[in-house]
Structure 1
Amino acid sequence: MKKAIVTGSAGFVGSTLTERLLKEGYTVTGIDCLTDNYDKSIKLKNITPFKHHKNFKIINKNLLELDLKTLVSDHDYVFHQAGLPGVRKSWGEDFLQYVSHNIYATQKILEAVKGSRVKKMIYASSSSIYGSMNGPTGEEKLPAPFSPYGVTKLSAEHLCHLYYQNYGIPVVSLRYFTVFGPRQRPDMAIHQFIRNTLEEKPITVYGEGKQTRDFTYIKDAVDANMRAMAFGKSGEAYNIGGGSRIGLMDLITLIESASGKKAKVIHTPAQPGDAAHTWADISKAEKDFGYCPVYSLEKGLYHQTSHIRALYNL
């Protein structure tokens, strides 16, 4: 039986990926230290559907406190989804935590995978490494992070490439473009917009709302992980977008349609670190491992709205 490690297994992408792996017959070791960046009870709910699965176990510890070399030694795949997220919180005194969770933890995993039997390691990178984009952006674009968070994700990605070049580690980096859907973090815009609209509370839009984002549905992001595991080229980075690029105010209109309620919008000044636009060119992932997003933004918002209604009993 194939064995996989999923770091951040109680998080948004990690829990959904874990569920997919279990359904496909993998034995999964999840690692999650349940950081307090948002309500831990939500993370615990994320793993409820598979917590007692016979082929799943979870280790509730910080990656930096584990004997990763021993843990990795009998596993075939490593999906490194763990990290401290959030652009706005990465400024100031909190930056050290981002360095620890996003850079140092990745280096520790790479050291553990070095010389092991692991066939493929997948690193969850981010579109934040690019900064703002003025058109469809391919992987050849020179990275220019616009936030400390983006700097840490790019640094970890560079480490992955260095370990591939020097030690032949079979690592693939996936640059996620704004993943959304059920289990999305409560601090992310779509989650907040949907919840506040359902509760008839104001939603906050930073700036004039002219920002655009390339949104990727969670099941498409998970499918990208599975395909990259099987066919991704070691040492490469791939954009994982959803082909659902839209302006923020247009997104709110779709949320109104999905929720059946009118949003109450409040505009506040733009925030440092927020890129104006993101736009993924996913042709490299299409070519190398057949990635093709199938979920529309409208369908994804419907599923996420249903999830949020259940989560908060709305």
Structure 2
Amino acid sequence: MTKALVTGCAGFIGSHLTQRLLKDGVSVIGIDGFLDNYDVAAKLRNLAEIGTHPAFTFHSVMLQTQRWEQWLDGVDVVYHLAALPGVRSSWGAAFSDYVSHNILVTQSLLEACLKLPKPPVIVASSSSSVYGTMEGSRTDEQTPLRPISPYGVTKASMEQICQVYVKAFGLPVTMLRYFTVYGPRQRTDMAFHRFFSQMLKGESVSIYGDGQQSRDFTFVSDAVEANLLAARHASPGDIFNIGGDREIKLIDVLNIMGQLLQITPKIQFATGSAGDSLRTCADISFAQTKLGYRPRVGLEDGLRMQLANLRAQNKG
């Protein structure tokens, strides 16, 4: 595959994926509308990290303009990462924005791809948002979807519209359910970025809930590798859990962060938010078997790299 379209290329995962593709000799058409759902300056820094590579063509535009014929010209594979994220902000009147960015845009992209020689389309989904709070042991892809937030509803609906195009037209769409991706360039509104930033300033760390909620954390380079593997090995309609090396409680993550900073974190507990999952834990056996996916970066090493990146940003 020699030419890729990456939507959301200035975002957290999208910027890392774009860099990896360019490093691998792939030409990239990148699109980002610079939604102001979090600090736009962070996205501009991500774009600067990609740089002025001769094989990178960037369009600063909203996907709703639907210039698909221009963007998809000569494309061999599509990585659709653009979305409006966030559980807490998806309630109320904002829900219509989530429908537009997460469902309607995806449907229009799939419709445009029907006019091409059926390129692989890799779509970013969300584990905790579509599964809801998980029960039992590790969660596999056959677990019923029980979203508990409006955001989760839009991601589950996005998956359904993808499956419709797979079944009706044989469009080779693959969905990746990420389990809490972290690492350098993580969104400024996400937990690890906030925690490290607060600790570096000597401030108390704010946690929603009691800190006993657990997550399966995935380092960003592992998420990027999953995209590349899916483009090569997935079948139309496949859905893969993409997780990390283990499940861990949030309070224990804070202790690891404190050890890296050689401090004892000061914690302020806040009321838990509606729509937040209490537990996520991925069964990644399907991705391991079919894609050859293996998480390479353990949590301690990943946090160390994220901290180093944040410190470098602060010095700059």
TM-score class normalised by the smaller sequence: over 0.9
1:126 touches 1:176 (CA, 8 Å); kept in 2?
Answer: yes
The match for 1:80 is 80
The one-letter code matched in structure 2 to 1:192 is R
Q: CA deviation at 1:260?
A: 2.4
Q: In 1, Cα distance between the equivalents of 2:292 and 2:272? A: 37
Task: Name the residue aligned to 2:13.
Answer: 13
Are 2:89 and 1:89 aligned? yes
- Is residue 198 of structure 1 aligned with residue 200 of structure 2? yes
Q: SS of the residue aligned with 1:225?
A: helix
Report if aligned partners of 2:38, 2:189 keep a CA contact under 8 Å in 1.
Answer: yes
In the comparison of the two structures, how many residue pairs are matched? Answer: 314
Map 1:146-225 onto structure 2 (within 5 A). 146-225=148-227
**What amino acid is the match of 2:98?**
Y
Superposed CA deviations along residues 172-223 of structure 1, whole A, max 9, x for unmatched, are 0000000000010010011101111111111111111110000000000000
Where 2:278 maps in the other structure, the secondary structure is coil
Deviations 1:74-98 (A, max 9, x none): 1000000000011111111111111
Distance 1:261 1:151 in 2: 39
User: Residue type of the partner of 1:96?
Assistant: S
3-state secondary structure, aligned to 1:201:
coil
Indicate the SS of the match to 1:142: coil
2:300 partner SS: helix
Equivalent position of 1:269 in the other structure: 271
Counterpart in the other structure of 2:308: 306
Cα distance between partner residues in 2 of 1:312 and 1:234? 43
What secondary structure does 1:258 align onto? helix
Deviations 1:225-250 (A, max 9, x none): 00001001211111000123100110
Aligned counterpart for 1:259 among listed residues 244, 258, 261: 261
TM-score, normalized by length of structure 2? 0.97
SS in structure 2 of the partner of residue 4 of structure 1: strand
- Relative to structure 1, the CA distance from residue 261 to residue 118 in structure 2 (aligned partners, 3 Å threshold; closer, same or farther) is farther
- Which residue identity lines up with residue 109 of structure 1 in the other structure? L
One-letter code aligned to 1:160:
C
Percent of paired sites with the same residue: 45
CA distance in 2, matches of 1:50, 1:207: 37
SS in 2 for 1:172: strand
Is this contact kept in 1: 2:214–2:280, CA < 8 A?
yes
Which structure 2 residues correspond to residues 37-186 of structure 1 after superposition, within 5 A?
37-127=37-127, 128-134=129-135, 135-186=137-188
Structure 2 SS opposite 1:307: helix
Q: Distance in 1 between matches of 2:78 and 2:68?
A: 11
- Cα shift at 1:118: 4.2
**Aligned-partner residue type, residue 188 of structure 1:** M
Distance in 1 (alpha carbons) for counterparts of 2:277 and 2:50: 36
Distance 2:66 2:164 in 1: 23
Q: Secondary structure of 2:121's match?
A: strand
Amino acid at match of 1:2: T
Range with bigger deviation, 113-122 or 238-247: 113-122
- Letter matched to residue 84 of structure 1: L
Structure 1 unaligned runs (5+)?
Answer: none
Distance in 2 (CA, whole Å) between partners of 1:262 and 1:60 is: 42
- Aligned 1:290-305 pairs, distance under 5 A: 290-305=292-307
- Structure 1 segments, 4+ long, off by >3 Å, are none
Distance 1:70 1:186 in 2: 32
Bigger shift: 70-79 or 293-302? 70-79
In the alignment, residue 81 of structure 1 is paired with which amino acid? L
Whether the aligned pair in 2 keeps the contact of 1:78 and 1:118 (CA below 8 Å) is no
Secondary structure of 1:312's aligned partner: helix
Relative to the length of structure 1, the TM-score reads 0.98
Q: Is the 8 A contact 1:51 1:57 kept in 2?
A: no
Distance in 1 (CA, whole Å) between partners of 2:27 and 2:119 is 15
Partner SS state of residue 105, structure 1: helix
Task: Flag structure 2 segments of 5+ consecutive residues without an equivalent.
Answer: none
Tell whether the 8 Å contact from 1:215 to 1:244 is kept in structure 2 after alignment. yes
Aligned mates of 2:303, 2:68 — CA distance in 1 = 38
Q: Which amino acid aligns with 1:16?
A: H
Amino acid at match of 1:23: K
Q: CA deviation at 1:66?
A: 2.9
- How far apart are residue 41 of structure 1 and its match? 1.2
